[in-house]
Amino acid sequence: MNTQRLWYLEGVDLFGKLCPIKSKSNESVSDPRQFKASEIIYFQDSEAKYLHVIVQGRVKIGTYLADGKEVTKSILGEGEVFGEMALAGEELRREFAEAMENNTLICMLSLEDIRELMMDEKDLSLRIMKWMGLRLRKLERKIELLAFRDARTRIIEFLKDAAAWKGKPIGHEVLIRTKLTHSDIATLTATSRQTVSEVLNQLKSEDQIYMERGKILIRDIGSLN
């Protein structure tokens, strides 16, 4: 197998770690495709044929409502996977995927390759089901979050979710490493960039969080409010 391809596939966090990609069935996997900022990776209603892995950059997953309004469902980064509903039998995409940065690199894994892996690796199917279940829970949680009318509450709940899914516990504190901008958080919480900045600064002045570039430290997740 091409060692460069193996690096790209093993260097990302697919289902924890996609070590099973060493399978000979994946010799045909194409090299990562490069996308520019705002370039569409796949369109809503396009044919669902691949699972996608982000090797580098960030990707926005969204959908268009009947009135044409765009709704952002998630913003994903390096090592994350999207397009997974193709594995569940989705024939046409119910969402679109858009690169958010220049030089975004995406590995495209065909459904045939993934299914061969699932046959060869007995535990892969279980891990995939658990992973897809987590994605569904995240989507349900996002809907719950948007039900809060108070913007501060939505932003705080977003921080709690980020801490639960990606945070690193340090005693009573939790460190969140993130590339999300205030504008990104605003999009995900249906608020404004200004509101996000105000709420985060309030939490910082209350000594509930500490912030620096790419990091948010929650002092006590249990008392964050």
Over the stretch 184-201, which tens digit does the pLDDT of each residue have? 999 999 899 999 999 999
Tell me, yes or no, whether 130 and 170 share the same domain. Answer: no
Range of the domain at 102: 3-143
Domain contains 186: yes
State whether 179 and 207 are in the same domain. yes
Which residues have CB under 8 Å from 128's CB, separation 6+?
A: 15, 84, 87, 118
CATH number of the domain residue 25 falls in: 2.60.120.10
Question: Rounded to two decimals, what is the model's pTM?
Answer: 0.77
Same domain, 85 and 125: yes
- Final residue of a structural domain among 127, 143, 159: 143
* Cα 217 from Cα 208, distance rounded (Å): 9
Q: In this structure, are 46 and 116 located in the same domain?
A: yes
Predicted confidence (pLDDT) per residue in 65-114, tens digit: 889 888 898 999 887 889 989 988 899 999 999 999 999 999 888 888 78
**Last residue of a domain, which of 111, 143, 175?**
143
